[in-house]
Amino acid sequence: MTLTEDDHAIIEAFRSYVEDSVGMDERYGESGRCDLEDGTTLATRFEAAPGCWFEFALRPGIPQIRVGFVTNDRWKSEEIEQSIQDSGDTMGEFVGIGMEEAGLDWEEPPVEHYREAAEFFYFATPLPIEDFMDLEKEETRNKVLRMLEGYLIAFGPALEGEEE
């Protein structure tokens, strides 16, 4: 999919809005863009702990937004998996509780758990969009912010004590 100049402008405005909104929240660490060279994933990560980030990513070719938690620490990923299992909840229920506390009514969101590029372990929730115009809607922007906060609420306790 070839993006037009208008598409690029809409995408950049969306990313800047979310980055600026989250950047004002002291619960998140420093941010950085981690886009794939081929443009299939345009991601921004907010440091959560060493080797751990909260992330939102736009996947223009699908089109889709993905929000979640990512780590390059296999043991942290397994520790979180164990915490979820010990809670008695499914991954969707576990993340859904965090999202509910963040003000988002989504009882059991889909949660994809996978390894990417033999380096990163993801817990991520996809959010389909109809087209790039959805990125300009306050409803979409608010939902992405609530999703990030939901992941922070759900995964934050597993990261306590990890900060340097």
The residues with which 66 forms a beta bridge, in sequence order, are 57, 126
Q: For position 60, what pLDDT does the model report?
A: 95
Task: Calculate the dihedral angle through the C-alpha atoms of 120, 122, 127, 132, rounding to the nearest 10 degrees.
Answer: -10
Residue 163 belongs to a domain: no
Give the HSE-up count for residue 18: Cα atoms under 13 Å, Cβ half-sphere: 35
Q: For position 1, what pLDDT does the model report?
A: 64
Residue 75 belongs to a domain: yes
Can you spell out the DSSP letters for 25-94?
-TTS--EEE---TTSS-EEEEEEEETTEEEEEEEETTTTEEEEEEEES-HHHHHHHHHHHHHHT--HHHH
Query: Can you give the pTM of this predicted structure?
Result: 0.94
Q: For position 3, what pLDDT does the model report?
A: 87
Assign residue 109 the CATH number of its domain: 3.30.1460
Residue 50 belongs to a domain: yes
Domain that includes residue 145, residue range: 5-155
Q: Give the number of domains in the chain.
A: 1
Inter-residue contact 63 to 131 (CB < 8 Å): yes
Residue 151 belongs to a domain: yes
Inter-residue contact 85 to 77 (CB < 8 Å): no
Q: For position 2, what pLDDT does the model report?
A: 81
Return the structure tokens found at 35.
């886009």
Residue 76 belongs to a domain: yes
Residue 161 belongs to a domain: no
Q: For position 162, what pLDDT does the model report?
A: 56
Distance CA 143, CA 148 (A): 9
For the chain, 164 residues long, the average pLDDT of each consecutive 10-residue run is 90 98 95 95 96 97 96 95 94 96 93 93 97 96 98 91 52
Residue 160 belongs to a domain: no
